[in-house]
Amino acid sequence: MRIAVLVVIFYILGSGSLTAIERNAILTPYKQQILIGENIKIELQITCLRGDEITFPNLSDTITKNIEITGIESIDSVYSQDSSSIQLKQIWHVTSFDSGVWAFPPIQFYIHKDTFETKPFLIEVGTVEIDTTQSIRDITEPIGVPYTFGELFRKYGIPMLISSAVLIGLLFILDQRKKKRKKKPITRQKVEISVPPHIWAMQELKKLEDQKLWQQDKVKEYHIRLSEIVRTYIELSLNVPAMESTTEEIKRFLDKKEITSESVHSVVSSLRLSDLAKYAKYKPIASENESAYQKIVQFVEQTAPKEETTNDSDHV
């Protein structure tokens, strides 16, 4: 399981809050004694300032050879009363299938270009104890056994066959009707454009800017459209299935292209901000909206075909 999420937080509104908030990353287990295979919740809590950039570590399904990750919940955000800082919370589910006392190692996070490391803790994994002093006995008392199918068939065979046939027939009819009523799956139509992808993208970005959506408090709609434009451009121009991929998958695709790491980092950070606005009820401020837009514009300009730019200049 890969955990690689870059969270873009609000820009700093006041410099006075810098000294009041201490950046940190804390992992706290709900309990430290479990049985083999039992899940335990671990709460991740990150405190930082508005504008801080946070890089989560890349983790696989295995923390150590004795501790495994079984699930990770979505990130919740809580803002301070003066909105100068933010606290991110996330629940990790881990377990162990080996008895013993195992150390959960420190995990590194990067907050505002600084490295923060969580404190290690121990997890004690026990087995179910067997009392050898007691004699072997049934887990529960004998219970009454219901009629078997053979006994019921001998008594109600023909009625059961008729009822089963009627039931199967009804289920078949209902299934056929459901298939007829079922709408065709929604498939994304490929965007057909009559101009090069980078020109189309710049035109669409200009239209989006003119709509002034985030200025009308339509921040989510703004980021949905911004994400659609850059994903469509990436798909058409760079042959990357961006419309059907997550932001992290897009990053892995772009890393394999002949694109500078700065350009990849820039467009991915904008996509992550859009993801937060779309799915995490995060409301970016004006400077973040403008920055995300400019990063997309720069990415399109930096990845546009160079030969077309040369041809255009030759005609001037």
Domain ranges of the chain: 6-126, 197-305
Residue owning tokens 């004795």? 66
Round to whole Å and give the CA distance between 167 and 155: 20
Round to whole Å and give the CA distance between 95 and 39: 5
Distance set, CA 220 to CA 12, 228, 273, 281, 283 (Å): 21, 12, 11, 8, 8
To 10 degrees, what angle do helices 197-211 and 286-303 make? Answer: 160
Round to whole Å and give the CA distance between 121 and 64: 13
Share of the chain above pLDDT 70, in %: 80
| Local confidence band at 265 (pLDDT 50, 70, 90 cut-offs) | very high
H/E stretch holding 79 reads strand 76-79
Residue owning tokens 């955000």? 77
Give the angle subtended at the CA of 121 by the CAs of 117 and 127, to the nearest 5°. Answer: 145
CATH entry 3.20.20 includes domain 6-126: no
| Local confidence band at 131 (pLDDT 50, 70, 90 cut-offs) | low
Q: Which amino acid is at 268?
A: V
pLDDT reported for residue 92 = 92
Strands 108-111 and 114-117: antiparallel
Q: Which of the two residues, 217 and 311, has the higher pLDDT score?
A: 217
pLDDT tens-digit map of 235-244: 999 989 999 8
pLDDT(179) > 80: no
What is the average pLDDT across 131-137? 68
Range from 9-18, 35-44, 72-81, 121-130 that averages highest in pLDDT: 35-44
pLDDT reported for residue 3 = 44
| Local confidence band at 191 (pLDDT 50, 70, 90 cut-offs) | low
To 10 degrees, what angle do helices 261-279 and 219-238 make? Answer: 140
Round to whole Å and give the CA distance between 7 and 53: 6
* Burial of 21 (C-beta count, 10 Å sphere; 0-12/13-18/19+): middle
* Burial of 1 (C-beta count, 10 Å sphere; 0-12/13-18/19+): exposed
H/E stretch holding 102 reads strand 100-104
pLDDT reported for residue 130 = 67
Average pLDDT score, the chain: 81
Question: What is the pTM assigned to this prediction?
Answer: 0.42
pLDDT(78) > 60: yes
pLDDT(95) > 90: yes
What is the average pLDDT across 172-181? 77
- The overall longest dimension of the chain from CA atoms, in Å, is 98
How many CB atoms lie under 10 A from the CB of residue 38? 13
SS3 label, residue 90: strand
pLDDT tens-digit map of 204-226: 999 999 999 999 999 999 999 99
What is the average pLDDT across 165-182? 78
Take residue 184 and report the two structure tokens written for it: 């065709």
pLDDT reported for residue 221 = 93
Round to whole Å and give the CA distance between 161 and 169: 12
pLDDT(13) > 90: no
pLDDT(178) > 90: no
Q: Side-chain half-sphere of 272: how many Cα atoms within 13 Å?
A: 19
pLDDT reported for residue 15 = 40
- What Rg value do the Cα atoms of the chain yield, rounded? 29
Q: Which of the two residues, 49 and 315, has the higher pLDDT score?
A: 49
